[in-house]
Structures are given as C-alpha cells and as structure tokens.
Structure 1
Amino acid sequence: MIAVLTSGVALGAHVPGLRLAQRLRERGADVTVDVLERRLPGDRLANVVESRRRFQRDLRFVVAAQGLATDPVDDFTPQAVAALERHWEERGVETFVVFSGFWLRLLDNYLGRRPTRTVACHVDAVVSPSYRRARRYAPGAEHVWLAREDGTLPWTIPVDTRPPIPWSAREGRLLVHGGGWAIGSYRDRARELARAGLPLDLIVPEASAAVGWACCFTLDPDWHPWHDDGLPPLLKVRADSSDSSDSSDPAEPVGREVPGRPLSYELARSASAIVSKPGGGTLLDSLWTATPLILLEPAGSHEAANGRLWRQLGFALSYDDWSACNFAPERLEPLHRALLGAAARPRNLLDGLLTP
C-alpha cells in the first residue's frame, strides 16, 4: 500500500500528487490519498476558505502568509492523529509519498515507532514554505525533486502517454490562469493580451467573473480538494460581450469536461503558451505538453526560483520581455522546441517507487 499525502491549500502540489496516484493505480499499485485539510476542525477549514478569497484579491497576502501562517498541524487533536495512525496501520501502508512538508511533522512520531519508507516529493526548484518548516522532522525520509535550481530536472511524474501536439497544429490560443487558487495579476495581463488581438482561454475564479473578450472557464464550485480525490474539474462559462461588473446577465456553466481528460490540461496541451505564475503544477503541465510559459509575478521565493529555472532552460519568457517585442508569436516556437523531449530525460518517479 502506498499513501500519497497532499495538501489542498497548494493545488500546485496537490494535483501532481493526484496524478502520481492515478499513474500508480494504472500500474497495479494499491494507493490511498489523504489531504491534510480533511483532518482539520471545521472552523480551521473555514479559515482556509476565507484565506483563499483574500489571496485572490491581492498577491501580497500570499507572500506575507507564507512567513506568518501557523502550522496547520497545531490544530490537529490527539484523537485525529490517533485515528490517522490507525488508518495507516490498518491499511498496511508500506510507503508514504509526501507532497507537503507539514505531513512530515505528523509522520515523525509514527515513523519512530513503525519505520516506513517515506519519500518527500518537491515540485518546486527550491525548498517550499511547508518543507522549510519541516527540516527537523522525519530525518530518514528520501527527498526527490522534480526540478532543481541548478538547472536539472532529476525526476518527473508522467502526466500523459500522448506526444505533445505539433506546433503547426496549434491555433495560437493562450491559456491564462492564476494557478490553482486563481491569484495574481493574470486577469489584468489577460485584458492586455486581448487588446493586442490574441485569442485567450481564461480561467476565472468564479462563473460571475467571466468576460466576453475571452473563452472563460472556472473551477467547479462543488469541488473541494478535501472532499474529492478527483482532479480539479473545470466548467466552461459564458458571459455577455462586455466585462462590466453590473451586467444583468451573469455567466453560467455551459459544459463539463470529459472524465479522465482534465480540461485544464487539455487547454494547456493545445495552447501556444501558458500565461501564469510559475507554480510547480504549471511547470509539470508545461513540461509534458511542450507548451512554453509566459511568466507572471511569482507567489513567493520558491515560485521565483521556478521561473528562473524555466528561463534558464529556454522554456519560458517573462511577460515583460514578451510585451517588449509586442507579443511576437515567433518568440514562442523556440521555447516549444526546447521543451520537446524534455519530459523523457528525468527519471520516472513511478519506477523509483515500484522498483524494489
């Protein structure tokens, strides 16, 4: 039994964890997924939801919160910890794969009593905030990295069996989003890109935020990572031709994605570029679709390192650099070509977990 341990407050790590679990099951492994927030008291979980709203209003809240936030493990009751440990024992967990450093603190005492293989997976190029807080816990854990600031991609999680869509078959659309929690400057940048005449697929935080100058999508409001082990489902939404906030005709869902084919990934696969802050999940999408990144303001030093790495490898441009050349489409194809085949170079994390 392999237990994949994630956190729903960081979809850039949660989604790679879900993808890993999916691929492991396809290889015949027995896998369970646990999300940190499922074990929190109701009032603490409500605070998480409210934090998301604040973060969407101003990226500066995100950066500040990384330095000031309390450890969520402080809110775990002894009863919740005991129940979690019984669950692991009853399921016969032989390997833990951790996607949030906060889990290492929870695992520390358990591993002291029941030594169990523990693999800490880092989706960012440097130590992320949750792992920074966990340095002294679970000292025997193996650490694997999907990206390193030294310019290497040591490991990867296989996202797709299909080859990337050829450049000549892409229609020049841009996928614009603010990561899993829809934060940052992406909507302002989307408006600038639309004014430049570029066709956009825009992921908005809620259906009422849809605009007429882009093809809009939003996360299904009924989906929450602490209630559902499925990949985040997108809904396509429509709006009238203006983006006036006082529109009397609110946007509404008009379609759902095909099960097993997450729409956000399909949009990235067919795009000419992803315009986003450089979260770990976005790097993985870029790598496996061979779709260049246009980098927006990062949410913290770990995302800044991700952006530097992607530029160093020739996979990305900053938004300002692309804007300075009037969003010239010919600047994108060399990035796509640099990405082609790059996903085949790192070691496959499935093999690292399933090979004795």
Structure 2
Amino acid sequence: MIAILTSGVALGVHVPGLLLASRLGERGAEAVVEVIERLLPDDRLRMIEASRSLFHRDFRAARAGQRLAADPARAVDDAALVALHRRWTGLGVRRVVVFSGFWLGVLERLSVLGLRLPEVTICHVDSVESPSFRRAGPVAAGTQVVRLASAAGGDLPCTIPVTHRSPVLWDKRDGRLLAHGGGWGMGTYRQRAADLSAEGHVLDLVVHEPQEAASAPAGTRAYLMDPSWHPWHDDGYPPLGLLAPGQDPGTVEFRRGTAHHSSFDLAREATAMVSKPGGGTLLDSLWSATPLVLLEPSGQHEEHNARLWCDLGFGVRYEQWREAGFDPEYLRPRHEALLAAVAGPARPLDVVEALCARKGSSCTR
C-alpha cells in the first residue's frame, strides 16, 4: 500500500497526486490519498477557505500570502498524528509519496513520537522546490526524490501520465483557447481572456464564482468549478460544470472525471492554455501537447517553471505572443515539440515505474 500525501491549498500538487493514485490503481497497486487539511481543526479550515476566496480576488494578496503562510503541520495535535499512524498501520502502508512539503513536518513529528515511518518518496511537481518544501528544509539522507521538471537540468526527468490517449493533432483542434488560474483561480487570466476575445479568439474560461461567468466575453464558454467543493471533502477530482449565459448557477450539472480531471479534456482540444505556470498546468500541457501562453507567475518557483517551458520550446510568454499578433500558427512548433517530448526516445520516466523499481516498494497487491 502506498499513501499519497497532498495538500488542498494547491490543486497543482493535489491533482497530480490523484493522478498518481489513478495510474497506480491501473497497475494493480493499492494507494490511498491523504490531504493534510483533513488533520486540521475546523477553525483552521475556515481560515484556509477564507484565504482561498481572498487570493482568488486579489492576486497581490495571494503572492504575499504564499510567502507568509504558516506551516499547517504545527496545528495538528498529537492525537490526530497517532490516529493517522494507526490507520496507515492498519492499511499496511509501506511507502508514502510526498507532494507537499508541509507533510515533512508531520512525518518528523511522527518520528519524534517514536512511531515508525514508512519509506519516503518526495515528488516535486514544480521545476524547483516550491514554498512548502523550502520551509521544510533539507530531507533525510536516503530519501528517494523524483522530479517532474528540473530547472537545474533543463529537462523533465519523470512524469505522471494524465491519460493514455494520444494528443489531438493540431489541425484537428477546435481553435479555442483555455484560460484558467489554477485550482484557486489566481492571476490575470480573466483580464487576458477579455483581451484575447477582443482580438477575435474564442475561449473556454474556468471560473470560480458564478458572477464571473456573467461578465465573460461574448462567445466564451464558462466552466464553473463547484464553489462548495474542497479537496479535503473527498478523494475525487474537482467537479466542473458548464454555466450557460443567464443560467441559474444552482442548476449547473457538475461532472468530474474518474481517471483524470475534467479540465484536461478541455486542454486536449485547445490551441493553447492561457495560465500562470503552475506545476500541474505544466503536466497538463505535456500530456495534451497543448502549448502554454504564460501569464504572470505567483512566485519564484512558477517563474522557474515559465523559463523552463520557454527554453524547452513548449510555451511562450503572453507578451511575446502579443508581439507576434496572437497568431495561432506561431504556437504550432510548441505543440510539435510537446508531441516529441512524450513520444521520443528521451521521454521522461513514468513515476509509477520509478516507484515499482524501488526495492521493497509495494506496487502490487
């Protein structure tokens, strides 16, 4: 049994964790997803939910909050830690895969309590250590570390397949752009969507509040992420539903994928994704072979992601595409480079293979 340790404050690490669980399940491996917020008291969860709303509305606050965020592991009491360890023992967890550095504090506290830890694998979704890992400090010697992207190496060492379907070829795509702001809907994507619509592009736009759909540019398809859903509620993918102009938000039919997240299906058909460069977005770009039009990052780790994607020929900064007249054909070579990256001889190692190759790993029932 493998426990996949994520955090609900960043869907860019939570969704890749869900994807790993899905891919392990397809290989006959047992996996359980643990979200650190499930260990927190209710008052702390209410603070997180309030922060999500604030950060969605104010990108500057989001960037500042990222630097100042407290380590949630400190708010977990000993009783919750003991209960967690007891559950892992009952399930037969032999390895944990850490997607959020906040979990390293939890593991350290388990060790201090004298509780035996499973083997640890750290999976970095971003191309450099994200803020949660930077706060955690150095990892213990002998810890397995896998990276889905590497700024230092300028490559993609490992990956988690989002789908087994081949990417949609360029000439078969519907010509739409997909604009989103990651799991919490942060950044300048709504303004850029309006600008691109004015230039004649048609868009799919992921919104997080119903009123945002009403103000979307004409011809835009608005997809509402269920505002009542939080990752610590269940282990499913984020619910997404099409909100038609003038439709009562209460009648939206939310859907969620069973093998991957629903927004990826929009990415597969798009000419480009217009988004800040979060690690989960890079993964979507790779497996859909959809170029990224890169917006302002939320932190230094996302700036490194943007540089890597540009250096690899997979993306272009918004300003650069604007100078090219927002020509879709300017993006075609990025699509072709992404196709070659997944199908070529230098394709990244599947993380599932890395886990199964690890001596003593539990990749089968």
Contact preservation (8 Å) 2:194, 2:217: no
1:16 alignment partner, SS class: helix
Contact preservation (8 Å) 2:104, 2:136: yes
2:205 alignment partner, SS class: strand
> More deviation in 82-91 or 197-206?
82-91
Alignment of structure 1 residues 105-116 onto 2, 5 Å = 105-110=105-110, 113-116=115-118
**Please, which of 156, 159, 162 is the counterpart of residue 159 of structure 2?**
156
Deviation of 1:116 (Å): 2.5
**Please, which of 131, 144, 166 is the counterpart of residue 169 of structure 2?**
166
Deviation of 1:255 (Å): 3.7
Contact preservation (8 Å) 2:107, 2:117: no
Structure 1 residue runs of 5 or longer lacking an equivalent are 241-248
Read off the aligned partner of 1:348 and give its amino acid letter.
D
1:297 alignment partner, SS class: coil
Partner of 1:177: 180
2:136 alignment partner, SS class: coil
Partner of 2:147: 145
Contact preservation (8 Å) 1:155, 1:346: yes
Deviation of 1:141 (Å): 2.1
- CA offsets per residue over residues 250-288 of structure 1, 9 Å max, x none? 655544436426320000000000000000110000000
2:25 alignment partner, SS class: helix
- CA offsets per residue over residues 46-78 of structure 1, 9 Å max, x none? 000010111112211122112211111111111
Deviation of 1:191 (Å): 0.4
Partner of 1:192: 195
2:230 alignment partner, SS class: coil
Q: Aligned equivalents of 2:86 and 2:277: distance in 1? A: 37
Q: Are 2:136 and 1:134 equivalent residues in the alignment?
A: yes
Partner of 2:121: 119
Partner of 2:207: 204
Q: Aligned equivalents of 2:105 and 2:254: distance in 1? A: 38
Deviation of 1:144 (Å): 0.8
Partner of 2:353: 351
Read off the aligned partner of 1:226 and give its amino acid letter.
W
Q: Aligned equivalents of 1:234 and 1:24: distance in 2? A: 24
Deviation of 1:138 (Å): 4.3
Partner of 2:225: 219
Q: Aligned equivalents of 2:107 and 2:198: distance in 1? A: 51
Contact preservation (8 Å) 1:170, 1:271: yes
Read off the aligned partner of 1:53 and give its amino acid letter.
S
- CA offsets per residue over residues 133-188 of structure 1, 9 Å max, x none? 11245444211110001311000001111110011100210000011100111100
Read off the aligned partner of 1:186 and give its amino acid letter.
Y
Q: Aligned equivalents of 1:38 and 1:188: distance in 2? A: 34
Partner of 2:362: none
Point out which structure has higher relative CO (alpha carbons under 8 A, 6+ apart): 2
Contact preservation (8 Å) 2:55, 2:61: yes
Read off the aligned partner of 1:189 and give its amino acid letter.
R
Structure 2 residue runs of 5 or longer lacking an equivalent are 360-365
1:281 alignment partner, SS class: helix
Partner of 2:337: 338
Contact preservation (8 Å) 1:212, 1:238: no
Q: How many residues matched?
A: 348
Q: Aligned equivalents of 1:163 and 1:60: distance in 2? A: 38
Contact preservation (8 Å) 1:123, 1:146: yes
> More deviation in 256-265 or 315-324?
256-265
- CA offsets per residue over residues 195-236 of structure 1, 9 Å max, x none? 111010000112221035210001123321001101112111
1:119 alignment partner, SS class: strand
Alignment of structure 1 residues 251-262 onto 2, 5 Å = 251=249, 253-257=251-255, 259-260=257-258, 262=261
Partner of 2:307: 308
- In 2 relative to 1, CA 83–113 (structure 1 residues): closer, same or farther, beyond 3 Å? closer
- In 2 relative to 1, CA 6–301 (structure 1 residues): closer, same or farther, beyond 3 Å? same
Q: Aligned equivalents of 1:17 and 1:32: distance in 2? A: 10
Contact preservation (8 Å) 2:99, 2:124: yes
Contact preservation (8 Å) 2:81, 2:110: no
Q: TM-score, normalised by structure 2?
A: 0.91
Partner of 2:270: 271
Contact preservation (8 Å) 1:107, 1:138: no
Read off the aligned partner of 1:177 and give its amino acid letter.
H
> More deviation in 140-149 or 107-116?
107-116
Contact preservation (8 Å) 1:208, 1:252: no
